[in-house]
């Protein structure tokens, strides 16, 4: 049986063409470069990871409480990872977590005044990095088109069930003989 070639598998999926591959790699590289610079700025100015910044920013924007599930869906992060990050933020006094009175299974999360203050300190640097790396090379027309394209792509991806809705993988139990 002949080798189906690179980019194809058992289902005989056609490879990406050169334009698709170039676009994919440009997007991934741009996102990685931006995220790396943002992460460096957040760590230097606020001792925050990018995920921690996202959590604080989402909580601040919500102007109230969000559930851990809402946060996990919003930042696209694993449940376990989010729980760990939330515990670090809570220990630092930047958020509070507590049970929901409406749903025994839900944990409600709120940003504290200290969390808002830290967000306020790191936001100017975050804006500068974002402008310098992402926005400055774009014209207003480019920005409009990129926004339309990325909104369409994001909405397409978000049409899938949220990761928090996926069933948890069960660890295999002890085997008996």
pLDDT digits (tens, 9 = 90+) for 103-135: 888 899 999 999 999 999 999 999 999 999 999
How does DSSP assign 72-89, residue by residue?
Answer: HHHHT--HHHHHHHHHHH
pLDDT, residue 171, reads 59
pLDDT per residue over 79-91, tens digit each? Answer: 888 899 999 999 9
Please tell me the predicted confidence (pLDDT) of residue 173.
58
Q: What mean pLDDT is predicted for residues 143-156?
A: 95
């Amino acid at each position: 049986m002949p080798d189906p070639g690179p980019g194809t598998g058992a289902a005989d999926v056609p490879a990406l063409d050169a334009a698709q591959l170039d676009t994919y790699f440009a997007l991934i590289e741009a996102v990685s470069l931006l995220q790396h610079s943002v992460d460096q700025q957040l760590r230097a100015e606020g001792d925050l990871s990018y995920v921690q910044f996202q959590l604080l920013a989402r909580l601040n924007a919500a102007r109230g409480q969000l559930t851990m599930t809402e946060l996990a869906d919003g930042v696209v992060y694993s449940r376990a990872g989010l729980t760990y990050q939330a515990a670090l933020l809570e220990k630092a006094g930047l958020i509070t977590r507590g049970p929901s009175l409406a749903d025994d299974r839900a944990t409600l999360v709120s940003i504290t005044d200290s969390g808002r203050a830290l967000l306020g300190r790191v936001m100017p640097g975050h804006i500068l990095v974002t402008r310098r790396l992402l926005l400055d090379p774009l014209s207003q027309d480019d920005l409009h088109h990129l926004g339309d394209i990325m909104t369409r792509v994001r909405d397409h991806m978000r049409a899938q069930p949220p990761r928090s809705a996926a069933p948890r993988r069960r660890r295999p139990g002890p085997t008996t003989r």
